[in-house]
Amino acid sequence: MIHPIRLYGDPVLRRSAAAVDRFDDDLARLADDMIETMHDANGVGLAGPQIGVPKRIFVAAELAPPSPRDGRSFGAQAPHPDTAEVQLDGLGGEHANDDGEHTSDDGDDGPEVLAVHVMVNPEIVERRGVQIAPDGCLSVPGLWVEEMERDAEVRVRFHDLAGAVHERDVAGHFAHVVQHELDHLDGILYFDRLPGDTRRAFLEAHRTELAELQRRAKAHLRELRGADTARP
C-alpha cells in the first residue's frame, strides 16, 4: 500500500517517534508499505513519521558505487547528487533474499540498489570521519542543499522485524542516508543541521516554497480529520 508522504509543516515531522515494542505482522506490513511508498516516490529512504506513523522505523536503500563510465561520484566522500531522499530514477525491480533484505534487479538507468534495509529502533553507537555532500528530502520536495556535513562512517545498532538486535558499520552514501532517516525519528529535518547563518539563508531563499508546503500539509491534515469524522 502506497501512503501519502507528509510534507514540511505537518507536526508529525517535528515529534520524536516512539520506540517499537511489538514485532508482529502489523510491523512487517508497515515495513512493506514503507518500501513500496519509497520506491513509488523514487526515494532511497523513508522514515515512519513521513507517512504519519510516529514509530522508530525507517527503510533505506543501499546503492552500489557507480562505475567509472557513469561519470558520477557518491562513494565515501559524496553521495549521489540527488542524495538521501530526492528523486532517483530507474531503481529497478526488487526481491527479497534469504536474509530478508530486499535486493534489486539490475536496471539500465540510475544506480543499482544492492539492498533495501529495514531498521527498527535504530541508534548510532559510533561515528568516524566527515563527508560533505548534497542533501534533500521527500518531505521537502524540490529543495536541497549542496553541502551537508555528515559523519563519513557510523556503526548503527537496530532491531530487525523479528526483534533481533544487529550492529552494522556503514560508510559513504549509505551512512548519509542512515543519518538522514534517523534524524526524522527525532523530529529533525535536514536543513536543521546547517550552520546558523546558512540555515537562515536557506529558509529565507525558499520562504515561498516552504510556505506552499505548509499550506499543502495543513490541507492534507484537514482531509484526514474530515475522513475520520465521516467514519461511522
Domain ranges of the chain: 11-230
User: How far is residue 135's CA from residue 147's CA, in Å, rounded to a whole number?
Assistant: 7
Say whether 62 is catalytic: no
Q: What are phi and psi of 145, to 5 degrees?
A: -115, 145
- CATH superfamily label, 11-230: Peptide deformylase (3.90.45.10)
Give the model's pLDDT for residue 83. Answer: 36
Q: What is the percent of the chain where pLDDT is above 90?
A: 76
Single out the catalytic residue among 181, 204, 209, 212.
181
Grid look-up 548534497 returns: 134
Contact predicate 176/150, CB 8 Å: yes
Cα–Cα distances (Å) from 78 to 12, 31, 60, 81, 161, in that order, read 30, 28, 17, 8, 30
What pLDDT sits at residue 107?
45
C-alpha cell at 212: 506552499
In whole numbers, what is the pLDDT of the chain averaged over residues? 85
Q: Higher-confidence residue: 163 or 103?
A: 163
What is the average per-residue pLDDT within 85-111? 42
Condensed to tens digits (0 to 9), the pLDDT of residues 28-46 reads: 999 999 999 999 999 999 9
| Mean pLDDT, residues 11-17 taken together | 98
Residue 183 backbone class (left: φ over 0; alpha: ψ -120 to 50; beta: rest)? alpha
The pTM (predicted TM-score) of the whole model is 0.82
pLDDT tens readout for residues 189-228: 999 999 999 999 999 999 999 999 999 999 999 999 887 6
